[in-house]
Structure 1
């Protein structure tokens, strides 16, 4: 008996430990409904598959949400375009009335006032930021004309300002700036906001830079100012010779050459670009006579990037392209000739808006198809994940009851045994 008892005790403890662990695992699976939640060793293959499906399901959920948001944004674009279409048709009617030879000057002024009010409404819509997104771009209109670029110019210390409606919110300005040995300033404003400033710049430092562009010799340092709503990037030619100042140089008490070239991203609320030469700047620097400068400009209009987001579980990117229209802010109805021009322009803009409305209809169809596809895939993923992870409750309850009965029978056998060690061993299940 003394030799068998330790063996029986050890055997009993091992069996009870196994049963206790099985009872705990069964309780966990029944309470959580997940057969591999706390027993990952049961099926490592199922665990790997379920984790992969879980990740894909998260992507599908995010994609579905993004597609729903994209649909709402596209619907918002369609609502604005429909309103712009109605407004443009009214402006077309006003222009038609103003072309009538019997229309008096006072009547034409009233028609022009209403025309201008509609133009302002279109401008407010074009630069609307209800969703804090750039949803509209005037460049999307097929009725936007090319830019009348200012010609190459030369000047002196006098202040020069040139305002141009480029018909776009984003553009790349190519600047050749040659103020020679004296210091002159070149600035760019968008919607009244200063976005670029060379500072008090001198281009001829140990010589002048020059290059041939389209068969034309252009002198001065070269800058590319690439700007759009909320962004700006300035690139300088590697062989630029000039600078906005040097250490120890006394240009002005309030002037710090380390702050230049200055850049600040535009808000994206205007297509009016202003080029200013020899402004006093924030330091209030007054120009002395005797300076001379040369300047060349090129402007490349660029389309604005719309909102983006993932569109499927693969992480592919969905982009909502901006739509737009011309505001006709440069037109008036004060003469029959001007009214005739406005009549033509508004008719062309109505056609442009209609084209974009048709394009949006295609976008709606694509978004709806993509949303339904993601919803179906998400449903399939959820079903597959449930089949892999969900516990079989009936089977778990059966195993739990079996282990509880075995545990109770074994405990009673040990407690009440007064027989030989061999009989106790036979009673242990």
Structure 2
């Protein structure tokens, strides 16, 4: 499961919170107030590739969402950070539906958090409220970072999502997007060349559909967030997006949206029964079991295709970014931000962990284990990662022309309308043209509220 599948009900009553704290090493006391516990932030790493700084006796708390497969990687990194720096890092893991409210309540009150895992939907809200600390000075300080490391080490389009009002507040990870996977063996047997655009994808899906019990294509169809992600990626590949820079006025182009809608309804004709009940993991499972010739899905889910323990088709896939016609490849940028709480008294130590964890080496470990991707440029050149996650070149191409998930407050409601409307079009309950009109009305009505 990935982040956008959890964008439901995050205004739950705070009193219902059920937080679980995972303590990663022995705890010690922490100071309150400003950045009073500076430690020795420019101390060289105790081991090659390790974190910078010595922060003996500093006790940090990290706020994140609970119940996901990436906890183990963060726990291992936090253990190693604690061992090498002398600090202590604990994880306050909260169910996603309660995370926003718990973070807002805590950041606006006592200094209980040092590091905050912030979803794009509420990053702007927290930055505007003054809950987050800018990190420009940390990023530009050569003594706090590995040689050659700076803001330029990250993919610029991804790093920019952690910037607000001209200041950098966060470092990104959990990067993913939507790409196309296709069975090289089935394409070769049928004499079909590698698909170059969505027209090729649809033609190949129709030709291969039903042969030896294999569906032509599979993709998410359940209204859990991924349908809007695929649709948004198709808009991006046409140089269009849901909203303008202000995040309020709808800029969805009817022609581009109709092309995206046509892709969904045409693809559904070559998809397996039950498409509208398939989330990202379900679609990937169908592909991994050899029941589809093409899959359009998010990259964390696609990692299962290359896992021989889960997939009977491992090693038989090749990947291309979504491209419409002769346009540029494109995709929706899915990510999370690592930020430092403005009222933390351990900001230098917090930055030390952020830099260490979001750099290539640690992100590569998490990527191989869980299928999420890093945000540094070097990450996409790492041969070990690419060999295990061969969709990386397609992702890198898509991210060069990407739009981040909308962060308007009304997006969860709009997203649901978009997805249920696409489902109606797939079922033939409404025409593609009418479905696009309905989506446009929802964007204009709710986007201005």
Higher relative contact order (CA 8 A, sep 6+): 1
Shorter-chain TM-score range = under 0.3
Q: TM-score, normalised by structure 2?
A: 0.25
| Larger gyration radius, structure 1 or structure 2 | 1
Q: TM-score, normalised by structure 1?
A: 0.25
